[in-house]
Amino acid sequence: MRAKWIPAAAFAALSLVFGGQARAGGPALVFDPTDGQVLYAEDADDLWHPASLTKIMTAYLTFEAIKSGKLTLEQRIPYSEQAQLQPPMKLGLHVGATLTVDQALKSVIIKSANDVAVVLAEAISGSQSEFSALMNRTAQRLGMTRTTFVNASGLPAPMQVTTARDLAKLARAVVTEYPEHAPYWSMFNAKVGKILIGTHNGLLRSFEGADGLKTGFTCDSGYNVVASATRDGHRLMAVVLGESSGAKRTLRAATLLEHGFHSYGWKRLFNPTQSLDAMAIDSTVKPVTSVRKTVMSYDCGNAPVRKKIRKKDGGKKKERSVDAPDAQKAAAAVVDKNKVAAGAPAVKPQ
Count CB atoms within 10 A of the CB of residue 329.
Answer: 14
Give me the catalytic one of 55, 169, 214, 267: 55
Give one word for 218, left, alpha or beta, with left for phi > 0 and alpha for psi -120 to 50: beta
> For residue 330, how far is the Cα from the chain centroid?
21
Q: Can you list the positions of beta strands (E) in 17-158?
A: 28-32, 37-42, 76-78, 98-100
Which among 15, 107, 112, 132 is annotated as catalytic? 112
The alpha carbon of residue 22 and the mean position of all alpha carbons in its chain are separated, in whole angstroms, by 16
C-alpha pair distances (Å), 155 with each of 81, 112, 115: 17, 11, 10
**Would you call 55 a catalytic residue per the annotation?**
yes
What span, in angstroms and rounded, lies between the C-alpha atoms of 106 and 120?
Answer: 12
Rounded to the nearest angstrom, the gap between the alpha carbon of residue 152 and the centroid of all alpha carbons in its chain is 16
Query: How close are the terminal C-alpha atoms of the chain, in Å?
Result: 16
In degrees and rounded to multiples of 5, residue 315 shows phi and psi of -75, -165
The whole-angstrom separation of Cα 112 and Cα 97 is: 19
Among the listed residues 15, 52, 107, 221, the single catalytic one is 52
| 245 carries an active-site annotation | no
Instruction: Assess contact for 65 and 75: CB atoms under 8 A.
Output: no
Residue 153 annotated in active site = no
The four Cα atoms 176, 179, 184, 186 give a dihedral, to 10 degrees, of: 70
Cβ-based neighbours of 162, under 8 Å, separated by 6 or more:
47, 48, 49, 50, 53, 144, 146, 147, 148
- Sign of the CA dihedral 318, 324, 325, 326? negative
220 touches 52 (CB < 8 A): no
Residue 77: strand, helix, or coil = strand
Helices (H) and strands (E) in the chain, counts: 11, 11
Active site residues: 52, 55, 112
